[in-house]
Structure 1
Amino acid sequence: MHTIGVVFNLKKDFPGLAWKAHTVPDLAAECEEEETVDMLSSSLARIGEKVMLFPHKSDLLERLDEARPDIVFNIAEGWAGRNRESLIPALLELLEIPYTGSDALTLGMALDKAMAKRVVSTAGVRTPRYAKIGSMEDLASLDLEFPVFVKPNYEGSSKGIRNSSRVKNPDELAEKVKWILETYAQPAIVEEFLPGREFTVGIIGNGRPHVLPIMEVCPGDREAADGEFVYSYETKSGNLERFRVPAPIPERLASEISDMAISVFEVMECRDVARIDFRLDAEGRPNFLEINPLPGLSKVSLLPLQARAAQMTYDDLVKWILTSAWSRYWH
């Protein structure tokens, strides 16, 4: 039996959440609920491991150094800043404690959406034209065709994405960029809006990673996504989305999306697990949107739903991620 440490952020521990949440309702969207931590811990125990819990607090370094778990199952997103997801992997490397998932460099590149686009483009992966906007003055040199899509550059879990994120003219664009700069205190990324269907692809393993069934994200009240569907905060919080997995798409398109997902996984140097989002352009070609190397593992997260479509239980998924990590440290 090994000792598995689980490092996580709980929403209830988010600094200043009580007085910030009324202005930014999705502020702690990437933090975990206690139910998710319990699910993961119970799964690891069923697999046959001893579990120790390490909430992400100021004394985390001391507690990890004292306990010295054999490996850490990392689901911590961090609290704030462009490097927040990189902090735990960097800390664990400092302590020479093995851990699941991608390293600090990959997590940092992935959280920076503009950086991730630059990196995946070197592998020949299509992505919509975009610009990183750090100030209102940057809009003067913007050379993109409307409609465009606007979101924070250093966030995940649809933070900062609203139904109004698809903008049709310069006035709407300026309003949305100003809101992101002021509300999230970070640059906005603006990209040409793609009118096609949206998909997400889960990948687990290393070497020859395993692609889980492709999932389509659709509006809940329609048979298929139309040209204006936005997977927004309002959509998520109102449970207005619908998922189809495996996605009902031609085999050739599924193969292309899977190949692109593997290319992204490899060029970003991901490890053990990731989830990658794509959307079709006007010609029906898949384009890379973003990558999440630290995907959610709650009962309603997309990765476990994809694993279920592959006839995998939650325990199977957790064990696969853990075994992939073990294999990197002990051959």
Structure 2
Amino acid sequence: MKFRIGVIYDKLQVQISDTEEEKCAYEQEIQTKEIISKILKDRYDVIEIEANRQIIQTLIKSKIDLAFPLCTGIRGESRQSQIPAILEMLQIPYIGSGILGHALALNKSAAKQIFDYNHILTPSFQIFYTSKERLNSDLRFPLIVKPSCEGSGFGIHKDNVVHNEDELILKIDNLLSEYRPPVLVEEFIEGRELTVGVIGNGNKKRILPIMEINFDNIPKEFGNFYTFEVKSKLSDKTKYICPAPISLKTRKIIEKNVNKAFDVLGCKDIARVDIRLKGDKPFVLEINSLPGLKPIYSDLPKMASKAGMSYEDLIFEIVETAIERITIGKIRKKIS
């Protein structure tokens, strides 16, 4: 009997998907799901599974050997962990990070505290639950204000970079009214934007060629950083330079920090780490434990291409990486 993989994708939640950000993310996920399913059918039996209210019954009936979750979840601060939690309850192996890894990566505030504790260089920061809290006097403007538990550029626009306390308070209030608290405030690093893809686990990680995201051709009204508008509308004007022109010494420092950041958050199989480089100092901003995989468009496939991998190679390597991790885990469990 052929090995069976279930590609799990989000159900469109009409009642909460009325923003441009939500619609854009959903369209990308559906397009990604369709092409991944088509590729995997060359080697495996593939079933597409919608993450709706009947998903537990659907998963039980599906008899899949491995799940390939593309789901960001519906809502809540740990929504990317919802499908992994169900899969673990049903004892279905799956690709990607576990419940805790996804929860920590999505929660930027928690992730930065873990980075700080583990001496991984990250911009100085403060966590706000209300705009009435006093700003730490050690923080220096400009600052960038972010929703703590969002990805895909949600809530990130040019006016997120603030230059005084009045702008700061206004932006905190705006984000708290639109997103779940807390709000993360960190020093805005005036430097180069880099991103780094990771495939693998433990000592067998593949660090993909580091990519620089250059905004020289982006109109100034959209900001000199990766805003939602830049990601979704201006990718044709953005310069994606891969491999990034950096020294060997800087590359090794970045790879060391990326490797460590991946491990301390408990990520598995695949992730993308975002960095700001100031001089030769790489500041880890965040980890995306569920990186976009849309061909041509998403950052991780761009980096994989520069590593000599076709898109098909990338998808099969992700699957094989997860299978190897799961198989080794089962062997160790039997031995113990």
After TM superposition, the score normalised by the length of structure 1 is 0.92
- Check the 8 A contact 2:97/2:289 in 1, yes or no: yes
Query: Partner residue of 2:131?
Result: 136
Q: Give the partner amino acid of 2:51.
A: H
State, as a whole percentage, how many aligned pairs show the same letter.
Answer: 35
Tell me the alpha carbon deviations over residues 12-31 of structure 1, each in whole angstroms, 9 at most, x when there is no partner: x124146x32xxx3134543
Change (3 A) 1:140 1:120: closer
Q: Give the partner amino acid of 1:254.
A: R
- Check the 8 A contact 1:7/1:75 in 2, yes or no: yes
Asked if 1:277 is matched to 2:274, the reply is yes
User: Where does structure 1 lack aligned partners over 5 or more consecutive residues?
Assistant: none
Q: How many residues align?
A: 319
The 2-side partners of 1:95 and 1:238 are apart by 40
Query: Partner residue of 1:321?
Result: 318
The 2-side partners of 1:29 and 1:81 are apart by 19
What is the Cα deviation at residue 142 of structure 1? Answer: 6.2
Tell me the alpha carbon deviations over residues 309-328 of structure 1, each in whole angstroms, 9 at most, x when there is no partner: 00001111111111111112
Asked if 1:185 is matched to 2:186, the reply is no
The 2-side partners of 1:33 and 1:295 are apart by 11
1:60 is matched with which residue: 43, 55, 58?
Answer: 55
The 2-side partners of 1:57 and 1:317 are apart by 28
Query: Partner residue of 1:7?
Result: 8
Query: Partner residue of 2:90?
Result: 95
Asked if 1:256 is matched to 2:253, the reply is yes
User: Where does structure 2 lack aligned partners over 5 or more consecutive residues?
Assistant: 329-336
SS at match of 1:138: coil
What is the Cα deviation at residue 109 of structure 1? Answer: 0.6
1:150 is matched with which residue: 116, 135, 145?
Answer: 145
Asked if 1:293 is matched to 2:293, the reply is no
SS at match of 2:97: coil
The 1-side partners of 2:214 and 2:111 are apart by 25
- Check the 8 A contact 1:4/1:73 in 2, yes or no: yes
SS at match of 1:229: coil
The 1-side partners of 2:66 and 2:325 are apart by 11
What is the Cα deviation at residue 186 of structure 1? Answer: 2.5
Change (3 A) 1:138 1:68: farther
What is the Cα deviation at residue 153 of structure 1? Answer: 0.3
Query: Partner residue of 2:205?
Result: 209
The 1-side partners of 2:164 and 2:121 are apart by 25
Q: Give the partner amino acid of 1:62.
A: Q
Q: Give the partner amino acid of 1:14.
A: Q
Query: Partner residue of 2:331?
Result: none
SS at match of 1:118: helix
Change (3 A) 1:196 1:44: same
SS at match of 1:98: coil
The 2-side partners of 1:135 and 1:29 are apart by 29
Tell me the alpha carbon deviations over residues 234-279 of structure 1, each in whole angstroms, 9 at most, x when there is no partner: 2123214221111111111111111111011111121100100110
Q: Give the partner amino acid of 1:309.
A: K
SS at match of 1:330: helix
Asked if 1:43 is matched to 2:39, the reply is yes
- CA-based RMSD of the aligned residues comes to 1.7
Tell me the alpha carbon deviations over residues 45-87 of structure 1, each in whole angstroms, 9 at most, x when there is no partner: 12x1011011111111110011120000111110111110001
Asked if 1:114 is matched to 2:115, the reply is no
- Check the 8 A contact 1:73/1:99 in 2, yes or no: yes
The 2-side partners of 1:100 and 1:237 are apart by 26
- Check the 8 A contact 1:199/1:278 in 2, yes or no: yes
The 1-side partners of 2:138 and 2:172 are apart by 15
Q: Give the partner amino acid of 1:198.
A: E
- Check the 8 A contact 1:9/1:56 in 2, yes or no: yes
The 2-side partners of 1:182 and 1:212 are apart by 38
- Check the 8 A contact 1:275/1:303 in 2, yes or no: yes
SS at match of 2:57: helix
SS at match of 1:26: helix
Q: Give the partner amino acid of 1:209.
A: K
Q: Give the partner amino acid of 2:158.
A: N
